């Protein structure tokens, strides 16, 4: 509802200005590519050097000048188990500030359509599998990324609060584990899949006879190519309206051991794989129930083997610039 008038999702005007917060990140860059491919003529973004979204005054000034009609909030401080465990203060504080500043500035400008992007880590550590949207806040979070998860839960509530108080049809989407071009391949800050790609590719290049991965390899994970995620985001903006967050995933998962074997095969690594069981596994399984998304008319298209092959190719083309 907006001003007491029911909102009906519809195709976005390709001439409207769309602001993608976090447009150079994994998700944001994929959304920009998708919007441009679909004919959107006025997609804007700002680098963190140009606009620090943690700076409230700067964020409000940007919105007053740019006056976007649609906002995709993909900006976030993100990282894997090591980064989340080491820097919980930054993961909580930075994300809360980014989300609050962008939403408040968008609200001041009366932005009708805002899509907030979270993470599947918002759900309880031992949520029934596959995870339905209504399991939110029904149990304890995974300890290794609870600060990040709390920030994202606050973002969902922010969207719901705007809907209740101001009637604006803002929505939230919670993607599963994402991978693809522009991912973070840093040894200290990456998620599991890009970390595995870099580890096995470097082992192949150096002639190493073994690779060591964290944990037991038994946890199960769901992986979605980021180009599929971007396609789902546009679909939701044009076809979904509701207060509940929408899970975005494939509906199937594999073990970390299986994904490691697949990555090794794709990069051509033939050495041994060892598992350091003194390191944490994280959540034992995290498979999203994507019924709500399917009911909205969208399903994933890019298979894991296809997506991994293209991602490895991208990584190798950009490996020199990604060292560090």
Q: Mean pLDDT throughout 192-219?
A: 95
CATH code for the domain in which residue 85 is found: 3.40.50.720
pLDDT band at 105 (very low <50, low <70, confident <90, very high): very high
**Angular region, 145: left φ>0, alpha ψ -120 to 50, beta rest:** alpha
User: How many domains are there within the chain?
Assistant: 1
Does the residue 218 lie in any domain? Answer: no
Does the residue 4 lie in any domain? Answer: no
Task: Give catalytic residue positions.
Answer: 148
Q: Mean pLDDT throughout 76-88?
A: 86
Is 239 annotated in some ligand binding site?
Answer: no
pTM of the model: 0.91
Euclidean distance between CA atoms 221 and 72, whole angstroms: 26
Does the residue 86 lie in any domain? Answer: yes
Is 24 annotated in some ligand binding site?
Answer: yes
Is 199 annotated in some ligand binding site?
Answer: yes
pLDDT band at 210 (very low <50, low <70, confident <90, very high): very high
Is 80 annotated in some ligand binding site?
Answer: no
Task: Quote the pLDDT of residue 1.
Answer: 46
Percent of the chain with pLDDT over 70: 97
Is 39 annotated in some ligand binding site?
Answer: no
**Where are the strands (E) in 100-233, listed by range?**
113-117, 171-175, 177-179, 210-214, 220-221, 223-225
Euclidean distance between CA atoms 313 and 147, whole angstroms: 33
Q: Mean pLDDT throughout 213-235?
A: 96
Is 56 annotated in some ligand binding site?
Answer: no
Domain that holds residue 245: 17-181+223-251+287-302
Does the residue 197 lie in any domain? Answer: no
The CA distances from residue 300 to 6, 35, 163, 210, in Å, are 30, 18, 28, 34
The CA distances from residue 126 to 192, 196, 282, in Å, are 20, 25, 11
pLDDT band at 6 (very low <50, low <70, confident <90, very high): low
pLDDT tens across 136-147, in order? Answer: 999 999 898 999
Is 4 annotated in some ligand binding site?
Answer: no
The neighbour count for residue 258, using CB atoms within 10 Å, is: 14
CB within 8 Å of 118: residues ≥ 6 apart: 152, 153, 155, 156, 172, 173, 174, 175, 245
pLDDT band at 36 (very low <50, low <70, confident <90, very high): very high
- Greater pLDDT, 10 or 221: 221
- Greater pLDDT, 305 or 211: 211
Does the residue 7 lie in any domain? Answer: no
Q: Mean pLDDT throughout 288-316?
A: 96
Q: Mean pLDDT throughout 11-35?
A: 97
What are the backbone dihedrals phi and psi of residue 288, each rounded to the nearest 5 degrees, phi first? -90, 140
CB within 8 Å of 157: residues ≥ 6 apart: none
Does the residue 190 lie in any domain? Answer: no
Does the residue 257 lie in any domain? Answer: no
Task: Quote the pLDDT of residue 149.
Answer: 96
Does the residue 58 lie in any domain? Answer: yes
pLDDT tens across 254-287, in order? Answer: 999 999 999 999 999 999 999 999 998 877 888 9
pLDDT band at 319 (very low <50, low <70, confident <90, very high): confident
| C-alpha closest to that of 230 among 317, 300, 311 | 300
């Amino acid at each position: 509802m907006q001003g007491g008038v029911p909102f009906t999702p519809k195709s976005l005007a390709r001439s409207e200005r769309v602001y993608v917060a976090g447009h150079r990140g994994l998700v944001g860059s994929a959304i920009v590519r998708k919007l441009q491919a679909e004919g959107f003529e006025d997609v804007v973004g700002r680098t963190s050097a140009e606009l620090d979204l943690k700076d409230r005054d700067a964020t409000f000034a940007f919105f007053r000048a740019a006056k976007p009609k649609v906002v995709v909030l993909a900006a976030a401080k993100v990282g894997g188990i090591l980064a989340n465990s080491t820097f919980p203060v930054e993961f909580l504080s930075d994300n809360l500030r980014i989300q609050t500043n962008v939403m408040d500035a968008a609200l001041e400008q009366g932005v009708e359509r805002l899509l907030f992007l979270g993470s599947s880590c918002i759900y309880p550590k031992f949520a029934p599998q596959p995870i339905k949207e209504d399991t939110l806040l029904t149990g304890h979070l995974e300890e290794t990324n609870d600060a990040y998860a709390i920030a994202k839960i606050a973002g969902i509530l922010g969207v719901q609060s705007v809907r209740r108080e101001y009637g604006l049809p803002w929505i939230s989407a919670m993607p599963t584990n994402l991978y693809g071009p522009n991912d973070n391949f840093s040894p200290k800050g990456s998620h599991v899949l890009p970390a595995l790609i870099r580890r096995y590719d470097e082992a192949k290049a150096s002639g190493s006879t073994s690779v060591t991965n964290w944990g037991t390899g038994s946890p199960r994970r769901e992986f979605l190519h980021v180009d599929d995620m971007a396609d789902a985001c546009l679909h939701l903006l044009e076809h979904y309206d509701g207060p509940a967050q929408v899970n975005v995933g494939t509906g199937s998962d594999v073990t970390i051991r299986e994904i490691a074997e697949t990555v090794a095969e794709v990069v051509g690594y033939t050495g041994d794989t060892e598992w350091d069981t003194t390191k944490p596994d994280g959540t034992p399984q995290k498979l999203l129930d994507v019924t709500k998304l399917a009911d909205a008319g969208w399903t994933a298209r890019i298979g894991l083997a296809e997506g991994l092959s293209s991602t490895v190719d991208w990584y190798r083309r950009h490996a020199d610039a990604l060292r560090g």
